[in-house]
Structure 1
Amino acid sequence: MNTSRKHTTGSAATTLIGGIVIILGFLYLLVSLATSGFHSDFDEMTKEAVSSRIKPTGNIVLGDGVPAGQRSGELVFNKVCIQCHAEDSTVANSPKLNHPDQWGPRIAKGYDTLLDHAINGFMNDTMPARGGRSDLTDDEVARAVAYMANSAGANFTAPAIVEEGEEGAEGEEAAAEGEAPAAEEAAPQE
């Protein structure tokens, strides 16, 4: 008995129907892809909606993330000054933290002299101005100088850290106080 004839006849019909289904499926996907952009929702395409979808997920913060003028003396020391003034530093002629014998002669010259050397540099740039960090404010350098000198026995007072909102609030209060008497003087007296 020869059964191969049965299989070849059924096989051709199956192949033909399968090919047609594949072609129709491909055409359906092609038409769906071609027409998918025509029914966009207007609210999803506004500038605000688009910018919220493409905005970065994080922000890049350069430096230590603390606003300028807000760094404490210890933070400035640990980020900048520690390179030369650490207890185990090998940089010559730089007084080390917690070494009163090295800081004593410098403390005797006074806080203003130490601060001037730290801000403007000293000994032909052996001590670079602001420790080599031009982004440090005078108050931040002053806090770092007080922190290092106080670790060796000095009793210097570091400038207070003023929060960003406090300066504006103090200025507004002073302006309001200054305007109040002027307003009273300008009022007609009965």
Structure 2
Amino acid sequence: MSDAHHEESAIKTPKQLIVAVVAGFLVPIVCIVLLVIFVTNDKQVGAGSDNSAAAIENRIKPVADDGFTLKEENAPQVLKTGEEVYKMACAMCHAAGVAGAPKLGDAAAWKDRIAQGYDTLVKHAIEGIRMMPAKGGHPELDDKEVALATVMMANNAGAKFAVPATKPADAAATAPAAPEQPVKQ
């Protein structure tokens, strides 16, 4: 007896042999034809291929320029009015009474808060209290702006708080100095 192993082929019929030979020739030929068509085809425009001046300018412009305005550090500070601050930061909660926030003009809801006094009310608005974040969630607001909005809301509910004055000294300090006149003797 022979120790040789008999391996069986996957091709068992003549029909299978013909299909295997044809596929062995056709598959590489089809791949070569498709590769030639791809290489000789017209140039396709990819992203960043447009080299017009406007397209280049659009690609290289800084991302930070979109919707960003630079503030002059030494420019005099212009405070927002109480109404502007209310619309920007406070109305989201105080217009609808979200999370227990007293609604604008609701005297009953503001009564106990107004009784605490101007200083306490403004302190709570600046530092935050309970569900209300500090400065209504807008840390960029100046304390004076928050005070203006607080007084506006409290006065709409019946308080008689005086509107805080903005510092005129700041405006005078940032204004350019007048040239000195020579003293006549």
Structure 1 length as normaliser, TM-score?
Answer: 0.50
State the partner residue of 1:157.
162
Q: Distance in 2 between matches of 1:165 and 1:109?
A: 30
1:135 and 1:81, CA in 2 relative to 1: closer, same or farther beyond 3 A? Answer: same
State the partner residue of 2:88.
79
1:59 and 1:103, CA in 2 relative to 1: closer, same or farther beyond 3 A? Answer: closer
1:165 and 1:107, CA in 2 relative to 1: closer, same or farther beyond 3 A? Answer: closer
1:159 Cα deviation after fit: 1.8
- Does residue 94 (structure 1) correspond to residue 138 (structure 2)? The answer is no
1:168 Cα deviation after fit: 1.2
RMSD: 3.3
SS in 1 for 2:98: coil
How many residues are paired up? 110
Q: 5+ unaligned residues in a row in structure 1: which ranges? A: 1-57, 177-190
Structure with more of its chain in helix, by fraction: 1
Q: Distance in 2 between matches of 1:122 and 1:171?
A: 41
State the partner residue of 1:103.
110
**Correspondent of 1:134 among 134, 139, 143:** 139
Cα shift readout 1:147-170 (whole Å, capped 9, x = no counterpart): 000000101112224579723168
Q: Distance in 2 between matches of 1:169 and 1:106?
A: 37
SS in 2 for 1:118: helix
State the partner residue of 2:45.
none
Q: 5+ unaligned residues in a row in structure 2: which ranges? A: 1-65, 181-185
Q: Distance in 2 between matches of 1:62 and 1:131?
A: 24
State the partner residue of 2:22.
none
Cα shift readout 1:64-119 (whole Å, capped 9, x = no counterpart): xxx85510111000111000101xx1413111001101001100010111111111
1:115 and 1:90, CA in 2 relative to 1: closer, same or farther beyond 3 A? Answer: closer
1:145 Cα deviation after fit: 0.3
1:62 Cα deviation after fit: 7.6
Structure 2 length as normaliser, TM-score?
Answer: 0.51
**Correspondent of 1:61 among 65, 69, 76:** 69
